[in-house]
A and B are shown apart, each in its own frame.
Chain A
Amino acid sequence: MDRGLDRPLAALVAVLLSIGLATLYSAGQTDVLGPAALAWQRQLIFVGLGFVLAIIMSRVSLPILEWATPYIYFLAVGLLVLTLIVGTGAGTAAGTKSWLAIGGIRLGQPSELAKLATILMLARHLAGRRNAPRNLVELLPACAIVAVPFVLVGLQPDLGSAIVFLGILLAMLFWVGTNGWLLLLLASPGISLMMAFSTLSWGLWIVGLTILILWIRPYVMEGLTVWLVNVGMGVMALELWNRLAPYQQNRLLSFLNPEIDPRATGWHIIQSKVAIGSGGIFGKGYLDGSQKRLAFIPEQSTDFIYTVLGEEWGFLGVVVTLVLFTLLCTTLIGIARRAQDAFACMLVFGFAGMLLTHILENVGMTVGLMPITGIPLPFFSYGGSFMLACLLGLGVVFRVAREGRRLGYGE
């Protein structure tokens, strides 16, 4: 059946985009000459372009999309490989290779396309399953689908984007009904890695994990593998740490303690918190954020744009936008729930998972709740690739929403 345009979603997106553009405009209004002064104009072009793409995507039937999924996925992986070979850096991440450029003109960041492609591919794979994966072996294909772009993006190195892939994986595995304990086992090597900063915490974790494995009683080989991988992670943690780029190490360190070196590694987080904190309850007023005006906020048009909002609109603005984001996610979840087929259902939830990861990580890092990673805030951060990816995804969501099944009861 045709339910037409999902008006609540359209309204939410329109409001968020407006606030995002207004904030981006404000971020460019500084007292010092900055390159971002006209970013809002370019962003507007991207929004227009994305709007067209969204309309096109909403016209594409889902079976065609499902058919095209492997091609899109391999195209994205191919572009990621190409980026690793000929990619260039930009801005503060100039030392990394995350941009694909031809003749000096930067075309875009393939990692944004790869996120969508991974969602598609995972959706296709999981939708094809009748039941949720019941053990680690059955999780392997899904893990492999995510691991390829994860590793390629991680090699750029772009830690933030790589984490988004994990968010997508966890969200979609959850949506397919995977047992929570199994997900914990899956995530355990990562947890082990984090716990390895101190021998005591890691020791406790390993004890806890051992009890967990005995409790769940997976296959012997599986349990042993998970346990060994965890031990291996603990041992390798130091080695892996040393392999991180210095800026990554610094970011993780300054997440733990921003005051280590306020002028260098902790600078971003301190300045961001000062700006947000000084905004108080009602903010300093639109366009009047003093920290923003004086360019104290790092990357205020992209990664830290939410700081601008926090400074100028205060806690009130923060609550309003958080509510809007929450509504966006729950709306997406609602659409996923109503989706007519399993592929569409997975697709929309995967997209919601991606957005939530971005929101949690981006907003969280501005107040020091999350380590600093350079990932954009949907509808706010300046950046063509991500804006296009979001609107493209929304196009698909609108399509799904239009074809949504009527629920048996209530509605």
Chain B
Amino acid sequence: MTWFHAHAVARRAETAKVVVMVVAVMLGVKFFHTQVITGGQYALQSEQNRVRRVPVPAPRGLIVDRHGEVLAENVPGYSVALLASSEDSLRSLLVRMDPLLSLSPDQEDVILRSWRRSPQDPVVVLRDAPFSTVSAMEERRVAIPGLVIQSEPKRLYPGGAFAAHVLGYVSQITEQELSDGAVTDARFGALVGRDGLERVYDARLRGRDGQRFVEVDALGRTVRDHGVAPALAPQPGDTLYTTIDAGLQRYVSEVFPAGMRGAVVVLDPRSGDILALYSAPSYDPNVFIGAVDLREWQRLSADPDHPLFNRAIQAAYPPGSPWKLLVAAIAMRRGLVNLDTRMEVPCRGGFQFGDRFWRCWRTEGHGHLNLKDAIAQSCNVYFYQLALQLGLTSFLEDAALLGVGERTGIDLPSERASFFPRSTQYYDERFGPRGWTRGVSMNLAIGQGENAQTPINVAHFYAMLSSPTGQAVAPHLVRGAGRGGAAERRLQLTGEQLVGLRQALLAVVEGGTAARSRIRELHIGGKTGTAQNAQGDDHGWFVAFAPVEAPEIVVAAVVEFGLHGSIIAPMVTSIIARHLLGPSRPGESDGRLVVPLDSVPTSVPIVPVAPRVDNGPGTR
């Protein structure tokens, strides 16, 4: 029988058919397993495979002033991002986009690093892209696979520089912060508040990013932009209602002497609300938006005037004469004096203590003054004697209770603590146990010596003075936002004593050292001061409140190299007028006046006021 015999062939044909069917069944079983049994799992994988998440940036919360005027808002902006499946394809995309982007090698590095951090997410290559660039890219969409144009609200400070130190600014999150995990909900390209309110209330302002889904192909190229999966809408950040009065803040920025450095703090002593806070020179926070212009940043941080430095809370100056009120208040509380008490030695242009003649600023002398007149005329001789009576230990002890060596706790970042010796131990350490005399308390009595106060701290003290009960809550920019620190400070004086002190200060403006800055209809109390500056011209202070009967506003102003407070008094009174009488009534001051000097004639050591240079925008 040959192999070709019909029976043999038929038998093998049956076997062959069985083999074919076995193969088919085997394949069928495997497909059944894949598609029916584990199908659901693969369906899930297939979804994840082709869908990529693209964050939808949440619009940052608005910052508004006490009347609802917008201080910081958002305007539409676009950022250009790429979805790339591999580093190589990202590189080649960047090369292809180079004519439109012109990235520096450094920027390219940053982009590659951020891609490596989360290859699944779109990597932002151009933030705050101009509209022309965005449309140019849209046209080339086919040539740029993986292109994702994200709408990214852009921060805008409509007022520009006028409230920069209050608002601060925002900038892109750094790689350091991303790896720290210090910022919650961070994603590459997120904006983080860097200074001012933007920084303190960052978490509230930032909101929560939403997300949408785009469909990508196997190479990570975007195929479909919309309708892939339900998008999650972003939650805009909360609106921040501040206590700032934008009109007043703007007014302050306008009346502050141009080209000068210094700070103005305006607050409502009844509530602790800050109405205006200005530091000069200021800067335009809008320059930090989007890609930080490195040159602009360097210009700002290298500026010898340190515009980024908030002098209202970060600079401390010897307070000068306004400090005399604190000495008077302590002495009155201790019951050493009342407003009519006269000192033993009348002022004859100076006071002999030890082997040194301590001068009064007025060489002719003030004569025999009571406390009220001594305050009004800022007589040094009176306060030298008052300090000696008080004794250094009690002086330092009581002053410490008033927070003179502390922060106010204002809701702004990097507030500097004011400086005032806590006890005599300070002098023992500094000069040796026998290296100093009671003379130091005489210096301290007139706001010189080892004493450096921030404008905000001085304003806080005057807020206590302006209060009917002698207490004041911590100054703040957002209601109910005491950031710890001294929540409330208290002058333990009776109402009458407080009224008396305020009346003495009224006399200053009515007839004292700031006489020419008086405004009809308004009873303004205030105190000029001159902070001795060993490095150059003296700094001028003026601290005022009004109306004297029931103060609604306290202004503390310091102008560096402003020589003395009399010069800036008109500015301060016009600010008060603007606030109490409304914007329609321009300040009726007579402009720059020359009033008698209010200064100790000899130079005494002061705590240096050189500002701490802040770091770049990238570091916190």
Q: Which residues does A use to contact B, with CB under 8 Å?
A: 30-33, 127, 129-132, 174-177, 271, 273-281, 290-291, 293-296, 298, 310, 314-315, 318-319, 322-323, 325-326, 329-330, 333-334, 336-337, 342, 345, 349, 352, 356, 359-360, 363-364, 367-369, 407-408
Contact = CB atoms under 8 A, between A and B. Distances in A.
Interface stretch (B147-155, B212-220, B358-366): B212-220
A291 B50 contact: yes
23 contacts: A31-B215, A32-B217, A130-B2, A174-B16, A175-B16, A176-B3, A276-B31, A277-B35, A279-B39, A280-B40, A281-B36, A294-B215, A295-B218, A296-B50, A296-B218, A315-B31, A326-B21, A330-B17, A333-B16, A334-B13, A342-B4, A364-B30, A407-B10
A400 B26 CA distance: 30
B269 to A, nearest CB: 67
A277 B43 contact: yes
Nearest to A175: B12
Interface of B: 2-4, 6, 8-10, 12-13, 15-17, 20-21, 23-24, 26-28, 30-32, 34-36, 38-43, 45-46, 49-50, 142, 145, 215-219, 221, 223-224
Contact of B35 (A33, A132, A315, A364): A315
B20 to A, nearest CB: 4
Given A275-B42, A279-B39, A291-B50, 5 more contacts: A177-B12, A277-B34, A277-B43, A369-B26, A407-B10
A342 B4 CA distance: 6
A298 B32 CA distance: 22
Nearest to A176: B3
A132 B11 CA distance: 15
B46 A326 contact: no
A345 B9 contact: yes
A266 to B, nearest CB: 13
Contact of A275 (B12, B38, B46, B145): B46
Chain A at the B interface: SS class:
helix
Nearest to A293: B223
A273 B145 CA distance: 26
A137 B562 CA distance: 116
A175 B8 CA distance: 9
A12 to B, nearest CB: 13
A33 B219 CA distance: 12
A273 B34 contact: yes
| Nearest 8 interchain pairs by C-beta | A277-B42, A278-B46, A294-B217, A337-B13, A177-B3, A278-B43, A31-B223, A315-B35
Contact of A326 (B12, B20, B42, B145): B20
A260 to B, nearest CB: 17
A131 B8 CA distance: 11
Nearest to B17: A330
Nearest to A271: B218
Contact of B219 (A130, A295, A326, A333): A295
Contacts of B218: 271, 294-296, 298
Contact of A333 (B20, B26, B34, B217): B20
Contacts of B10: 337, 407
Contact of A325 (B8, B24, B50): B24
Contact of B3 (A132, A290, A319, A323): A132
B22 to A, nearest CB: 10
Nearest to B50: A294
B423 to A, nearest CB: 69
Nearest to A270: B45
A271 B217 CA distance: 12
Given A325-B24, A330-B20, A131 B36 contact: no
B35 A296 contact: no
Given A276-B42, A280-B39, A281-B39, A318 B216 contact: no
A34 B473 CA distance: 70
B614 to A, nearest CB: 45
Contacts of A295: 217-219
Nearest to A281: B36
Contacts of B31: 276, 310, 315, 318-319, 322, 367
B462 to A, nearest CB: 68
Contacts of A359: 23
A337 B10 CA distance: 6
Given A271-B218, A274-B49, A295-B219, A131 B3 contact: yes
A364 B34 CA distance: 12
A348 B50 CA distance: 45
Given A294-B216, A369-B27, A276 B35 contact: yes
Contacts of A127: 4
Nearest to A323: B24
A279 to B, nearest CB: 6
Given A177-B8, A291-B49, A367 B34 contact: yes
Contact of A32 (B3, B8, B223): B223
A411 B293 CA distance: 92
A280 B35 contact: yes
B49 to A, nearest CB: 6
Given A132-B3, A290-B50, A314 B9 contact: no
A364 B22 CA distance: 13
Given A177-B3, A280-B39, A337-B10, A356 B46 contact: no
Contact of B28 (A294, A298, A322, A336): A322
Contacts of A329: 17, 20
A276 B20 contact: no
Contacts of B17: 329-330, 333
Given A275-B46, A291-B46, A294-B223, A356 B36 contact: no
Contacts of A293: 223
- With a 10 A CB-CB cut-off, give which of B6, B15, B23, B216 has the most chain A CB atoms: B23
B217 A274 contact: no
Contacts of A32: 145, 217, 219, 221, 223
A276 B32 CA distance: 10
Contacts of B34: 273, 276-277, 367
Contacts of B142: 33
Contact of A318 (B4, B35, B43, B49): B35
A346 to B, nearest CB: 9
A408 B9 CA distance: 13
B30 to A, nearest CB: 5
